[in-house]
Structure 1
């Protein structure tokens, strides 16, 4: 599965990758703390 993504764990793996996961809870936390 390497059509145009040589690194699945890169900066933009997908909508449910390791890059969006840590950012999702972080944003919610900041909003709640604000």
Structure 2
């Protein structure tokens, strides 16, 4: 694997939980409004 691919993959793995938390929070807000 090239170093750049490795870096991209690392960033993706780091950001995935953040993105998931964001989506979950948005869903929770929608539920509260409705």
**TM-score for both structures, normalised by structure 1:** 0.52
Match of 2:15 in 1: 19
Match of 1:8 in 2: 6
| CA root-mean-square deviation | 2.6
In structure 1, the gaps of 5 or more residues are: none
Q: Report the number of matched residues.
A: 29
**TM-score for both structures, normalised by structure 2:** 0.52
More helix by share: 2
Where has structure 1 moved over 4 Å in runs of 4 or more? none
Q: What is the Cα deviation at residue 7 of structure 1?
A: 4.3
In structure 2, the gaps of 5 or more residues are: none
